[in-house]
A and B are shown apart, each in its own frame.
Chain A
């Protein structure tokens, strides 16, 4: 896929099993730098596992993952995870205020986040400054996801992994998050790899897409492949007949 683009993340014959159960089978392909690539496919296809391999939360049993042309094994785990950020579906928070959560990535490095930087982050993700001291348990689903994304941005990641971050949001929040991701991609040139079940979202927001089924990548290309898939299984999936 996309030979014209420099890869930010590259998979080379990657296999991953969990308790002798193959989750990913011989994955090869690239995620272009500075672009939005969506990962679509039925539940249990191995999408989340693939995402976690990108920032070293999991390691492949065989094959190689490269981040910016460097093998993932050559990165220190801490360095890798700051370079490749992830926002999870459940948007987990540490108990306390929004500010406490925003300052967490720097606290882990023994540094602190200034109030000015925190305000800028909130503005970046479209949240009001007044939310700074609010307890995270009092946030709406959409606000929580925005805080989660803002927190990931504190590390200034070059690659941002998104795991179904809009799946439980109402339509307004969903649109706001979509706009936010496009803005991050354009403003910082961040490479985005986004798992979504929303095929319309993949078509509208993604530059490229990977369709995964049963641990394999069955079709890749520009997002409009979803309008007319070459693969029969993908065609059935797109029509809602599989998965």
Chain B
């Protein structure tokens, strides 16, 4: 696609701008900022990727993945501010998920060890893991807050912190995994995944595109499960102290 053709697609930006102006939605400024940011950010990433792909240097691949992990950690940890040391717990989880998935893909020779495969797949894994972390932390902090009585009840009956938080932990893990599982149930029927659509538009064989999409979907199932379970088991102990007391307790 030429830049001239691409510039014509700005019609798709003009339509919401006109609607916003006509209906007094007040979204013109945000729409223009979003458009400019996406142009600058994506073109910059495009040039960086081109450079990394051309260089085929492992160091650049590592740096790109590290940058993704840092940005994703920074974004996800905001939702778990109440949990001590959350930034490290999120970082360790994201790194573990990335190492595990790439380890399987490269170890079994499923994908080649080139920047062209490692970087986009890492982006999907880390991005999905970040969203899962946010979903999990949102739900877990809300569950802990609203079930303090039950947690304290189990502690008061001689239960351990793990027993006291078990129900909330399991329900948060399940809740954060459900969107991934549900979206996979309707894939192909309701929506065509972005990566697959992109490959088909770019001229790839649809069956080849589907095979890659299946690989990514299976990968994201592992990402979802490992992220929520790992983050859950890393997070819950910090809610208690050595005397098995729930740290956030009301007093009167």
Binding site for B on A (CB under 8 A): 16, 18, 23, 43-44, 46-49, 52, 55-59, 77-79, 81-82, 85-86, 88, 90, 92-94, 104-105, 108-109, 151-152, 155
Contact = CB atoms under 8 A, between A and B. Distances in A.
B169 to A, nearest CB: 15
Interface stretch (B153-161, B173-181, B195-203): B153-161
Interface in B138-183: 149-150, 152-160, 163, 167
Nearest to A81: B158
Contacts of A85: 156-157
B252 A43 contact: yes
A77 B244 contact: yes
Interface string B122-133: 000000000000
A43 B252 CA distance: 8
B245 A58 contact: yes
Contacts of A56: 243-245
A179 to B, nearest CB: 24
Contact of A108 (B157, B244, B249): B157
Contacts of A44: 252
Given A57-B152, A58-B245, A59-B245, A78 B158 contact: yes
Interface in B205-252: 243-246, 249, 251-252
Contacts of B149: 88, 90, 92
Interface of B: 149-150, 152-160, 163, 167, 243-246, 249, 251-252
Contacts, number: 77
A108 B163 contact: yes
A58 B249 contact: yes
Contact of B158 (A82, A88, A90, A93): A82
Contacts of B152: 57, 88, 92
B251 A49 contact: yes
B150 A81 contact: no
23 contacts: A44-B252, A48-B252, A52-B251, A55-B156, A57-B246, A77-B155, A78-B158, A78-B159, A78-B244, A82-B158, A86-B156, A88-B152, A88-B153, A92-B149, A94-B153, A94-B167, A105-B158, A108-B154, A108-B157, A108-B159, A108-B163, A109-B158, A155-B158
Given A81-B158, A108-B159, A155-B158, A92 B249 contact: no
A221 B186 CA distance: 71
A239 B56 CA distance: 85
Nearest to B163: A108
B156 A78 contact: no
Count chain B CB atoms within 10 A of each CB in A86, A92, A93 and give the residue with the most: A92
Question: Taking each of B150, B154, B160, B243, which has the highest tally of chain A beta carbons within 10 Å of its own beta carbon?
Answer: B243
Contacts of A47: 252
A59 B243 contact: yes
Q: Pick from B153, B158, B251 the residue with the most CB of A within 10 Å.
A: B158
A126 B132 CA distance: 49
Contacts of A48: 251-252
